[in-house]
Amino acid sequence: MSPSQESVLSEYETDTSQTSKLLRKFKETPFVPIGMAGFVMVVGYGLYRLKHRGDMKMSLHLIHMRVAAQGFVVGAITCGVLYSMFQEYVVKPKE
């Protein structure tokens, strides 16, 4: 192995705790936790509204909640991709 590869591997091996890996990923891709939080909020709201759905059928209510949760996650992923493309091609200086 070359010296540069050894330094990268040793740096990776020291950062092996799951929490530190998760925090590093959240810093690299900030829209993933936003999508996860939105999904949890939509599911929580759906469970809350489940008691007060009135005459709406259970299956129709669940379909609406599933579509809302998926829409939020897809929207967050799309925003993340657009943000990373903006950072890569507009903000980053051309070499």
Give the per-residue pLDDT at 10. 55
Predicted model pTM:
0.59
CA distances from 33 to 27, 37, 76, 86 (A): 10, 6, 9, 19
Whether the predicted pLDDT of 8 surpasses 70: no
Q: What percent of the chain has pLDDT over 70?
A: 81
What confidence score (pLDDT) does residue 93 get?
Answer: 62
- Structure confidence at residue 14 as a pLDDT band (50, 70, 90): low
Burial of 17: CB neighbours in 10 Å, binned 0-12, 13-18, 19+: exposed
User: Are 62 and 92 contacting, i.e. CB atoms less than 8 angstroms apart?
Assistant: no
pLDDT of res. 5:
54
Say yes or no to pLDDT of 49 above 70.
yes
**Rounded CA separation 64/10 (Å):** 48
Token pair 């990923």 in the structure block, residue: 25
